[in-house]
Amino acid sequence: MTRPVIIGNCSGFYGDRIAAAREMVDGGPIDVLCGDYLAELTMLILAKAQAKDPAGGFAKTFLTQVEDVLGTCLERGIKIVANAGGLNAAGLADAIRAVATRLGLTVAVAHIEGDDLRGDLSAIRPEVVGEPVSANAYLGGWGIAQALAAGADVVVTGRVTDASLVVGPAAWWHGWGLEDWDRLAGAVAAGHVIECGPQATGGNYPFLDEITDLRYPGFPIAEVAADGSSVITKHPGTGGLVSVGTVTAQLLYEIAEPAYLGPDVTTHMDTAVLGQDAEHRVTISGVQGSPPPSTLKVALNDIGGFRNTMTFVITGLDIEAKAARCESLLFEVLGGKDRFGSVDVRLLRFDTPDAEENALATAHLKITVMDPDPQVVGRAFSGAAMELALAGYAGFHTTTPPTSESAYGVYRPAAVPRTALEQVVVLPDGSRHVVADPPTGPAPTPPTLTPADLPDGPTVRAPLGRVCGARSGDKGGNANVGLWARDDAGHAWLRAYLTVDRLRELLGPEAADLRIERYELPTLRAINVVVHRLLGDGVASTARPDPQAKGLGEYLRSRTVDVPAALLD
């Protein structure tokens, strides 16, 4: 087939807009309906669900969407591809067949296996201690391609990379080979853009004035051509915006270094060239690829222990003194901090002097305790907090009543040799086939770029965000921030100004002792920043108020810096 394959996304996470599947199917022509349901935290959630019900472990909202659109997709020849299988892709495939039977439909369902490593952890490095509740390798798109080539109407997977949901259908449609590196890399770029749903179409976009239609954004579509180039768009008449800016933001999202390692190809994001083809149509071209590494990324989730949090509201005068008094009294009642595995104390200042409203005069003292023993951090902790109600600081109250403990998870990244596992596609007829691995190569070395000099001319104090956009998120315990300028002059200043030292200064005390990596992506007028360990052991365990660093980019944009006056004219 020579025309581009049209792939529409209907989910960016487990819990996303249920109606998106029907809207995507009815909104215009598509060849493939795909959906991403698996984040690092989701695997922990599904592991807990599977522990309660061994027949579970997959994203149940996907079944609701399938029931809604399956008949229409079969009638129009639209393939459905999703990673909603989580920890039980076979169980999800059976559930889809049951839905089809109930609807009186005949459907060919395939699924992918091989990512779940809980049966044998020996090859994972670093060596695994204990028994994680989930241990999944990130597989690629070739199993999906093989299933579609065998006639599957629906393909469900466990842990594949998010972009594989586009790579697999594109490789099947165009008949690509394992070593079509540039074509595969182009599909990875397109898949990375649409994997998070409306984040590519104006969602979470910093320049609100650019969004021409402020209704709920339409979900994104990737039209992937035979050469690997693509057009990112959305259905006519839907809300939001598809622009070079919205696509840039999503290309930078959680990629770490520009050489984006994947199971099928290493995608060099710093070679991507974007262009505004027409309204709500952005081209991605020029993406270069190279062989993937000999190892696969592995995500491990453990139950780390139990936690409890109490948040004390402090009002008006002497905020810091009241907070110190509260902390001192609380741990006096509890018998000291040493009885807990760990303690996190944060004074969150929202108060303003001479506030016009009561709420604007308040700060929050958030105290979190963690321990392997649930009784240590349960009602014994929150009950002690309430003993301060009449004996603590003036104006004492809390945001919640006493709470019970809850289990928290710990995320650990790891790797496994490809040779230690087999990716298997189970076709609709029940036959099992091993999916071939592509050739591999060494990890690429980042290019060396000449340091930039700050432009001459007068400067004024202004927020960083007047010059650049940002999008941020989490990669395990690391925070990832992509920043881009809207023109060449802004980019020249940005790459000269935002050194590692300057970034550390702008990020504030919490990043003072952390490792910061900075990468340049000139074709996108962008810089990507990785702040190691800002999130501790990941979203499920960190006590940081923004546990996935979603607001970190906007925080950076809010910082007042010396900006060349010419850039603000």
Rounded CA separation 63/17 (Å): 13
Residues β-bridged to residue 97: none
- Amino acid in the structure at residue 71: G
Over range 171-185, report the average pLDDT.
Answer: 98
pLDDT tens-digit series, residues 309-339: 999 999 999 999 999 999 999 999 999 999 9
Q: What is the pLDDT of residue 446?
A: 74
Q: What is the pLDDT of residue 14?
A: 96
- Angle, alpha carbons 556-503-348 (nearest 5°): 50
- Answer whether 151's CB lies under 8 Å from 108's CB: yes
Residue 120 pLDDT greater than 90, yes or no: yes
Residue 460 pLDDT greater than 70, yes or no: yes
Q: pLDDT band at 1, cuts 50/70/90?
A: low
Q: What is the pLDDT of residue 448?
A: 77
| Helices 244-251 and 181-194, axial angle in degrees (round to 10) | 100
Residue 456 pLDDT greater than 90, yes or no: no
Residues β-bridged to residue 527: 483, 520
Residue 68 pLDDT greater than 80, yes or no: yes
The more confident residue out of 539 and 231 is 231
pLDDT tens-digit series, residues 249-300: 999 999 989 999 999 999 999 999 999 999 999 999 999 999 999 999 999 9
Rounded CA separation 345/363 (Å): 13
Rounded CA separation 509/514 (Å): 10
Rounded CA separation 229/273 (Å): 10
User: Which domains does the chain show, CATH number per domain?
Assistant: 5-293 (no CATH), 306-410 (3.30.70.360), 459-568 (no CATH)
- Answer whether 425's CB lies under 8 Å from 147's CB: yes
Q: pLDDT band at 124, cuts 50/70/90?
A: very high
- Token duo for residue 400: 């919640």
Q: What is the pLDDT of residue 6?
A: 98
Over range 395-401, report the average pLDDT.
Answer: 96
- Answer whether 500's CB lies under 8 Å from 518's CB: yes
Rounded CA separation 554/208 (Å): 13
- Token duo for residue 408: 């928290």
